[in-house]
Amino acid sequence: MIDHQLYRLFFEHSIDPFILFDSEGNVLEYNDEGEYILSKIDKSELFNLAVSHASMTFGFKQTLLELTIGHSTFCALNVGYINSDVIGLVLHKSLCNKRYKNLSHNLQPANIFTLVDIAINTNLGDETKILREYDASIPEFKININRFLQFLNKIFKQLRGLPQIKIVIKMATGETMLIEKRRYQIVAIDIVADREIELGEEEFIYSPRKEGGVHIELPFIL
């Protein structure tokens, strides 16, 4: 016997966003990840994405592609419809391919909040208000302190003169990264600022935020 309640809970808590539209592009239903994606991109763009990748006839069609929305990267999407009234879209996250580009063995235990505050104090003046949301439960973990401070300095130098910057540091839920055949949890740092940041090639994993600033992911190595 199928446990429909458990099936529904797995669906709701899937790491892959699901969104159901009617024929006019209105959102009928979504899971938790779908709600997050809808907060990062206009629903009309997602509806057009679904329609443009749908099967020519009733049924399901999977397409491999690279797509970034917010802080998430996707490697495929699945579109399905069994009548002309509703159409469903599933975006498949690219979690398995997330790798740290160049893990240095010169790692030392460090307090991530202290390192970020050092870079802020080094590069920003009193005219910039800093809003901090730090998950104080994150303990010290290993990182190349010098290289990470250099990386942060490149970021905050580009943010000089802004009236306000928000820093959010927390554990990324449900995501890991692969380093030398081992998987590690991720410490996520969001530097929210009303300015684009140019960094180029870096050993640290980062992505620009659509609203401005940058999203950084660090391996939680104890």
pLDDT confidence of residue 71: 63
Q: What is the pLDDT of residues 136-158, one digit of tens each?
A: 999 999 999 999 999 999 999 99
**Lowest pLDDT segment from 7-16, 137-146, 158-167:** 7-16
Whether this prediction's pTM lies above 0.95 is answered by no
Tell me the β-bridge partners of 179.
182
pLDDT confidence of residue 96: 47
For the record, the structure tokens of 121 come out as: 């104090």
Q: What is the pLDDT of residues 31-55, one digit of tens each?
A: 888 888 888 889 999 999 999 999 9
Query: Of 51, 46, 52, 49, which Cα lies nearest the Cα of 33?
Result: 46
**Lowest pLDDT segment from 35-39, 51-55, 173-177, 201-205:** 173-177
Mean pLDDT computed over 120-140? 93
| Domains of the chain from N-terminus onward | 4-93 (3.30.450.20), 108-219 (3.30.565.10)
Q: Which residues contact 40 (CB under 8 A, 6 or more apart)?
A: 69, 70, 210
pLDDT > 90: what percent of the chain?
Answer: 52
The torsion angles phi and psi of 80, rounded to 5 degrees, stand at -145, 145
Residue 103 — very low, low, confident or very high, per pLDDT cuts 50/70/90?
low
Question: Is the predicted pLDDT of residue 179 greater than 90, yes or no?
Answer: no
Distance from C-alpha of 40 to C-alpha of 35, rounded to nearest angstrom = 9
